[in-house]
Structure 1
Amino acid sequence: MTDGSTADPAGRVRPPAAARRTIRRERLHTLGFLAPFLVGFCAFFAYPLIATVYFSFTHYDQVNPPTFVGLRNWDYVLFQYPQFGTALANTLWLVVVMVTARVLFGLAIGMLITRVKTGLGTLRSLFYLPYLAPPVAATTAFVYLLNPGTGPVNQLLHRLGIPAPNWFNDPSWSKPALTLLALWGIGDLMVIFMAALLDVPTELYEAAQLDGAGAWAKFRHITLPTISPVVLFAAITGVISSMQYYTQAILAGSLASGIGASPGVLFEPGYPSGSTLTLPQLVYSLGFQHYNTGAACVVALLLFALAMAFTLLLLRRGSGFLTEEGR
């Protein structure tokens, strides 16, 4: 071979030495560009995940070295720890109810604002500003507004002659109150849906108008199919966020119980009566309050698997509703 190429024993032609050096140099350049991602992926995802799997099979109190206990932690969490079922039920409730309510409410507000002719900027700001409030400040203000005794909301309901709930102090109303808090900060979904709705071709509405289609027919056959990728995105990100729901629930429970952030006081998450206990709170309680890191890792892995299952289900089911433009 006159171009410097060689053949291996199997008869495959190898490129010349200069070409091999060029290919090696290009691969090194590519690896250099990928290095920040690879380092971050290994340090913040791969290693923590592997360590979590390892600790789930050990007894580890964060003081003494971990000792292997097999499936004992899994058996304890799944079959002996009663709070796991409560936290799982609450988390699933938030996934089904809160995510659905946020998507529907965000879509409704987005459609409302795209049709408003006057005061658009003011109305858009009123709905978006609560989203900018930090979660701790927003939750604190919301607990005050819904205080059963002195809150403005209950006082207004009493004046109107409407029975006022106990909100965060009532197990049957605590999760609906958290849902109202999530709807209060609907600004993120409002902006996303506004952008999607404004991107729907007006020609489709004009053609439907000529065919005599009503408002519901236009929404069902034009608006919804066109923005279906955005609806799917909102549902998936909502499921992931609800699976990580921690700050608002634990802060609302602690404030409603009267404990708040009192120093030196151990607060068991879930007030009232475990109704606000979520799986992320259970990870914190087991791992950092009771120093049972093995059981906390089991809950974390189950939470990870549950989030993956919901995401894959939504991706599989939602892809059937995507139009050719959204695929």
Structure 2
Amino acid sequence: MRRGTLTPYLLITPAMLLLLAFGVLPILVAALVSLTDMNISGLANWSNVEFIGFENYVALANDPDFWRALGNTALFGVIGVPSIVFLSLAVALLLDRSDGRIARALRSFYFVPAVTGIVAISLVWGYLYNTQFGLFNWVLSWFGIGQVQWLSDPWLAKFSVALVAIWRGTGLNIIIFLAALQGVPREYREAAALDGAGEWRTTRSIVLPLLGFAIFFVTVTTTIAWLQFFDEPFVLTDGGPLGATTSVSVFLYKEGFRLNQFGYASAGSLVLFVIIATITLVQLRIRRRDEKP
């Protein structure tokens, strides 16, 4: 084999090794652990670990807490994915049409939540949601509305937690859409304007079709992020009240690191991995079908 032929493989070898070490290997280990009854004692002495086959998966199928967490995750995804894609695209379109210092300042302003620590964000939002002293209830009191249990009411807590995640996740996607908008030739817009097309018609008929891949990319990555939804419900409510905001990731964390059921948690993580992979493959298939003439 020629030296020039080997060069590309040598260049990608470090990346492939990292992928195997931190991507593929953990999945294989989790699959192995999911077939055992491993707990914290098994970490110190593997002789305490017993192979139990698919009992963990059977237990998951019969666990109402797992199904509730799965339902919560699905609801979070239905709320969060369309909201983030729509809001980030709308804001990016508005910022793309503006210029100057104010526009540049707004771009930085919208990106701040993406680089701010989740603990700091949750503390601030926790004060805003505070039933007695929070800003939201203080404003509502002007209109004669009583105290709202933002994080104590089971149904309202779902939307309150989702709102924080939507606010935090929009900034990064705005930057992605702005970068994609830079690739839209200005000549197309100028030609549409000469033909008498308005701003909305130009955006709908020219700009949005050219942003197809960016919209697809944001949709896929946002879907994966919401299926792994963990930070906001864990820090704001710890999965409460009454498990109303317990996502699958929070459920797995509690089973694995609080109840020390590593085998059971690993089985749940494999189920979540299969769900994410399946949804992503479906999205890729739809994308390929739409690209065909």
TM-score by length of 2: 0.88
Q: Give the one of 144, 159, 172 matched to 1:176.
A: 159
Closer, same or farther in 2 for the Cα pair 1:195/1:28, shift >3 Å?
A: closer
State the distance in 1 between where 2:260 and 2:5 align. 46
Residue 96 (str. 1) matches residue 78 (str. 2): yes
Q: Give the one of 111, 130, 151 matched to 1:147.
A: 130
Runs (5+) with no aligned partner, structure 1: 1-22, 255-269
Residue 137 (str. 1) matches residue 120 (str. 2): yes
Closer, same or farther in 2 for the Cα pair 1:29/1:93, shift >3 Å?
A: same
| CA shift digits 1:37-66 (9 cap, x unpaired) | 343233222322122112212111131432
Aligned match of 2:234: 250
State the distance in 2 between where 1:230 and 1:46 align. 27
Q: Which moves more between the two structures, 114-123 or 66-75?
A: 114-123
Aligned match of 1:295: 264
Shift of 1:303: 0.7
Shift of 1:128: 2.0
User: Which structure has the larger Rg over C-alpha atoms?
Assistant: 1
State the distance in 2 between where 1:124 and 1:30 align. 38
Q: Matches of residues 229-240 of structure 1 in structure 2 within 5 Å?
A: 229-240=213-224
Q: Matches of residues 207-226 of structure 1 in structure 2 within 5 Å?
A: 207-226=191-210
Closer, same or farther in 2 for the Cα pair 1:78/1:278, shift >3 Å?
A: same
State the distance in 1 between where 2:175 and 2:74 align. 26
Aligned match of 2:253: 284
Shift of 1:27: 7.9
Q: Matches of residues 59-208 of structure 1 in structure 2 within 5 Å?
A: 59-64=37-42, 65-79=48-62, 81-117=63-99, 119-162=102-145, 165-185=148-168, 186-208=170-192
| CA shift digits 1:214-243 (9 cap, x unpaired) | 333222211110001001110111112112
| CA shift digits 1:185-234 (9 cap, x unpaired) | 22211111112223222222233233333333222211110001001110
State the distance in 2 between where 1:40 and 1:242 align. 25
State the distance in 2 between where 1:163 and 1:214 align. 45
State the distance in 1 between where 2:220 and 2:99 align. 32
Aligned match of 1:304: 273
Q: Which AA in structure 2 matches 1:251?
A: V
> Residues 94 and 242 of structure 1 are in contact (CA less than 8 Å); yes or no, is this contact kept in structure 2?
yes
The percentage of counterpart residues that share the same residue type is: 31
Residue 36 (str. 1) matches residue 14 (str. 2): yes
Shift of 1:25: 7.1
SS at structure 1 position matched to 2:211: helix
How many residues align? The count is 286
Aligned match of 2:282: 313
Closer, same or farther in 2 for the Cα pair 1:155/1:281, shift >3 Å?
A: same
Q: Which AA in structure 2 matches 1:58?
A: T
Closer, same or farther in 2 for the Cα pair 1:208/1:181, shift >3 Å?
A: same
Shift of 1:278: 0.9
> Residues 140 and 146 of structure 2 are in contact (CA less than 8 Å); yes or no, is this contact kept in structure 1?
yes
Runs (5+) with no aligned partner, structure 2: 43-47
Closer, same or farther in 2 for the Cα pair 1:35/1:125, shift >3 Å?
A: closer
Greater RCO structure (CA 8 Å; 6+ sep): 2
> Residues 229 and 322 of structure 1 are in contact (CA less than 8 Å); yes or no, is this contact kept in structure 2?
no
Aligned match of 1:20: none
> Residues 228 and 321 of structure 1 are in contact (CA less than 8 Å); yes or no, is this contact kept in structure 2?
no
User: Larger % of helix: which?
Assistant: 2
Closer, same or farther in 2 for the Cα pair 1:132/1:45, shift >3 Å?
A: closer
> Residues 56 and 298 of structure 1 are in contact (CA less than 8 Å); yes or no, is this contact kept in structure 2?
yes
